[in-house]
Chains A and B, each alone.
Chain A
Amino acid sequence: MGALRRIATIAHHTFKESVRERVLYNLIVFALLLMGAAILFGSISVGIEQVILVNLGLSSISVFGVLMAIFIGIGLVSKEIERRTLYNILSKPVSRPEFLLGKYCGLLLTLVINTAIMTGGFYLALLYQKRHLEFADLLALEAVYFILLQLALVVGLALLFSCISTPILSAVFTFSVYVIGNFLGDIRWFGQETHSPGVEKLTGVLYYLLPNFSNFNVITRVAHGLAIPGYLLWSNTLYALLYVSILLSGAILIFEEREFR
Chain B
Amino acid sequence: MNKDWPLWEVFIRSKNGLSHKHAGSLHAVDAAMAIENARDVYTRRAEGVSIWVIESKNITASDPADTDMLFEPSVSKVYRHPTFYDVPDSITHM
Do A and B belong to a common assembly? no
